[in-house]
Amino acid sequence: MRNLNQLFVFTNSRKIREFNAGFNDELIPKSLSIAEFYKKAVFVNGRFECDSTYALVLMNRACASVKEANSVLKIPTEFFEFLKNNDYLFSFFKELAISKKSIAKIKFNDIYADFEEHLSILEAVLKEYESLLDKEDLYDDITLPKIYSINEAYIKSFSEISLHIDGILSEFEWEILEKISKLTTLKIIFQTSVFNKKLIEKIRQISAISEFENYKKYELNLNTNELVCLENITKFEPVLVRNFATRSLQCAYAMAKASEFVREGIKPENIAVILPDESFSEILRLHDRDKIFNYAMGESFKNSKFYKSLSYITRAINEGASVKFDQSKCESYE
């Protein structure tokens, strides 16, 4: 009988749905996405999470208080202009935080030697921003890795946590997992291949296990360093490349291959068409007369019959023309 006091953590909601689909007449175990899990696993005592809008205000104040931020780095101090140029600041500071690195450590590296002044200014901006958050008892993704605590009561409520890893975890995430492994049984499930060498190298470091065979699915108990091979992984088939002169031919090929996959026994829900850009979906819709595809990006409102009808009416009014509706054709607008 399955342990109902066990938590399963997956990288995304699709993986959770696939996991839950395997249970028919049984109680479904608890499962979370990895983002939800980390939200529940950590907290900051005595502080509230700063919302993204107010974080912008505080970062703008921090930049304004450091004169060199504007004179040297050309960071705008006027708020609405700042809104257009804030992404790189938050991205840079957050990347440093989750990598468990500080500006003080990186600015003297040879690779950053030409940017020592710039990094010193950014360091001053970050210090001021953290101070503003601190004064109001707030935290965000930038300061969280420095001041968080593990939610021990939550972690200890599970006898075992199984974390399925697809991709690379940050140093901050690994640090959390290390602390969790001291509170309850924590197992990570991962696959090996030539495409995830960074992940395998990190697991080698934390487990002291040197050898992992490629194309295997492993389970590693972080409490005991016990490694179990769960199954062999089928290597991916060679990628076939096809060139077409027009997008219409690309659409025809996509629909033909989808039909071929279904005939071969592949479930339709496991077939996906990755588009080069969203505009291609409009061409694909025109050719998809049998509605064989679902479109994840939805349908543009501008392409709806309601919008087109409203657009024609508005244009007619602006041009002083009268609009006549044919009642016999009303069904075409439903």
Average pLDDT over residues 62-86: 68
| Structure confidence at residue 69 (pLDDT) | 66
Q: With the CA atoms of 218, 221, 225 and 227 taken in that order, what torsion angle do they form, in degrees rounded to the nearest 10?
A: -20
Average pLDDT over residues 74-81: 62
| Structure confidence at residue 306 (pLDDT) | 76
Name the residue among 193, 63, 191 with its Cα closest to residue 126: 63
Q: Which residues pair with 221 in a beta bridge?
A: 187, 226
Query: For the chain, percent helix, then strand, then coil, each to nearest 5?
Result: 50, 15, 40
| Structure confidence at residue 113 (pLDDT) | 64
Average pLDDT over residues 124-141: 95
pLDDT band at 66 (very low <50, low <70, confident <90, very high): confident
Mind listing the pLDDT tens digit for each residue in 30-56? Answer: 999 999 999 999 999 999 999 999 999
Mind listing the pLDDT tens digit for each residue in 178-234? Answer: 999 999 999 999 999 988 899 999 999 998 888 889 999 999 999 999 999 999 988
Q: How many Cβ atoms from other residues are within 10 Å of residue 154's Cβ?
A: 16
Length of the chain counted residue by residue: 334
Query: What DSSP line would sit under 125-165, residue for residue?
Result: HHHHHHHHHHHTTEE-TTTHHHH-EE-HHHHHT-SEEEEE-
| Structure confidence at residue 110 (pLDDT) | 62
| Structure confidence at residue 85 (pLDDT) | 66
What does the alpha-carbon distance between residue 222 and residue 36 come to, in Å, rounded to a whole number? Answer: 21
pTM: 0.74
